[in-house]
Amino acid sequence: VTAPAVILSYPQIGENIGAAARAMKNFGLTELRLIAPQCRWPNERAKALAAGAGDILEAARVYSDVRAALSDIRLVLATTARDRDVVREILTPQAAAQRLRAVSREGVTSAILFGGERAGLTNDELSLAEAVITIPTAEFSSLNLGQAVLLIGYEWLKAADATPASRTRKTIAVPATRQELVDMFDHLERELDAGGFFFPAAKKETMVRNIRAMILRAGLSDQETRTIRGMIVALVKNKYRGENKA
Amino acid sequence: VTAPAVILSYPQIGENIGAAARAMKNFGLTELRLIAPQCRWPNERAKALAAGAGDILEAARVYSDVRAALSDIRLVLATTARDRDVVREILTPQAAAQRLRAVSREGVTSAILFGGERAGLTNDELSLAEAVITIPTAEFSSLNLGQAVLLIGYEWLKAADATPASRTRKTIAVPATRQELVDMFDHLERELDAGGFFFPAAKKETMVRNIRAMILRAGLSDQETRTIRGMIVALVKNKYRGENKA
């Protein structure tokens, strides 16, 4: 995989460069290029904000203009919030990440171009990109450079992430067998019956069905069925002593 | 739509609360709740970082503990990076956002719970949540509170965002008609022929096909076909003068 380079054009604020590096590292992007940084470089505030991503800052290469920074890149996507009067494809971050993944798998070099804090990318810079990426926002739209890199990086990782949408810790959660559940149901229903819970008797069947559905919805593990049985034992404890006496 | 509340538990750093508010507003979340902020509150640094989202900070309610903050909430999702020894459903941010959208559409109150900067959520706080959200990251995982709110907020907006994955500015891009394209092809091929481009002649048909495919791939607008014809005229300009003289 040839991961895309992150290119910051005329970045002005050291903190944002550091935040960008930190964001990159969280999502598996490592190559940072800077076009004519407008702050002192190397930059102490950038180092502080990068936290554990100082290695990305140290390896960052500095270029004098966009043509030099892009010379070896074959697919360039540019981020922009502003509308431009050019017919160019506009991608969501997700679609952009998928396209970058596709070329990366083939070993093709790619880059994501981010403009400076104040003015964004120039029209000349944009004219070298195949497509632009626009991050969807509400009407209020105010994302800084570090946040933009974070969101694009997140989509880059997501595009190859196989984490299931929903899961339960498998090592701990061994779902209960039907036998364990049925034994627990029997235990619970017997004690509920003894406590006069099923009233009127004609409703018992429906009540049992509802209780079982409610319990099954929780997706209990085998350990949890044992816990519940222990709870039932604790709840009825000493309750029959009086009866024996009587 | 009853948008979920963002609840920050024991936040320590004013800047992060401000960044969270700004992130929220970008993605259409407005209700901020704070559980026992550990910094001075209201907080000047929070206001500075919130930028245009000061209204969210001003409307933020402060609670003394998690039970009070959650009392009217019906679906609680908690963000956590740490592994816990409890059988609980783990959602990706995207799956969480879809679930929140689903209950929101039914007017059901919901909340996303974020832990403090240093220690995250306590086990007691987690025990009140239906499921946890874990943000996928690379091996290096270091997201601050503001970044976590940003990513979850982004997924919240995306879950209802109808922006097509790829599009072209419609107002400007009226795709060229076949007639405009064919006229342009004729014009180009005539001039290429005149310049001796199609050599050897036996290859002409293949060469023409390749050129047309390359041009069609660009998805030209009607204006662009006219631009290209103007370019051809400019390229051959004065070229025939010599011939006329000769």
Q: What is the pLDDT of residue B82?
A: 67
**Which pair of structure tokens corresponds to residue A226?**
């044992």
Give yes or no for A173 touching B (CB within 8 A): yes
Q: Check: CB of residue B148 under 8 Å from CB of residue A26.
A: no
Average the pLDDT over A90-105 and give the result: 95
Which residues on chain B are in Cβ contact (under 8 Å) with A27?
137-138
What's the sign of the alpha-carbon dihedral A150, A156, A157, A158? Answer: positive
pLDDT of residue B246: 44
Nearest to A36 by CA among A108, A116, A100, A112: A116
Q: Does B218 touch chain A (CB under 8 A)?
A: no
The mean-pLDDT minimum among A17-31, A102-116, B164-178 falls in B164-178
B142 touches chain A (CB under 8 A): yes
Residue-wise pLDDT for B26-39, tens only, equals 999 999 999 999 99
User: Three-class SS of residue A57?
Assistant: helix
Smallest CA–CA distance from B25 into chain A, residue = A140
Q: Model ipTM?
A: 0.82
Structure-token pair, residue A214: 């409610």
> Measured between CA atoms, how close is A160 to chain B, in angstroms?
11
pLDDT tens figures, A179-215: 999 999 999 999 999 989 999 999 999 999 989 988 8
Identify all chain A residues contacting B102, using CB atoms and an 8 Å cutoff. none
Segments of chain B with pLDDT less than 70:
82-87, 169-173, 242-246
- How close B244 gets to chain A, by Cα (Å)? 39
User: pTM here?
Assistant: 0.84
- β-strands B89-91, B110-114 pairing: unpaired
Q: Are strands B32-35 and B5-9 parallel, antiparallel or unpaired?
A: parallel
Which of A88, A163, A220 should be substituted to probe chain B, the one whose Cβ sees the most B Cβ atoms within 10 Å? A163
CA dihedral B47, B48, B50, B51 (to 10 degrees): 120
pLDDT at A137 (0 to 100) = 94
Q: Which of A91-95, A117-121, A186-190 has the lowest mean pLDDT?
A: A117-121
| CB < 8 Å to A90, chain B | 166-169
The CA-CA-CA angle for residues A151, B137, B152, to 5°, reads: 50
Condensed to tens digits (0 to 9), the pLDDT of residues B84-127 reads: 666 678 999 999 999 999 999 999 999 999 999 888 898 889 88
Query: Of B166, B154, B165, B172, nearest to B220 (Cα)?
Result: B172
Q: Does residue B171 belong to the interface with chain A, where contact is any CB pair within 8 Å?
A: no
Tokens of A98: 């998928």
SS3 B221: strand
List the single residue in A with minimal CA-CA distance to B83. Answer: A169
Q: Where are the alpha helices (DSSP H) in B159-221?
A: 178-194, 204-217
- What pLDDT, on the 0 to 100 scale, is given for residue B1? 78
**B48 vs A: CB within 8 A:** no
User: Which pLDDT value is given to residue A217?
Assistant: 83
Q: How far is CA A164 from the centre of its chain?
A: 11
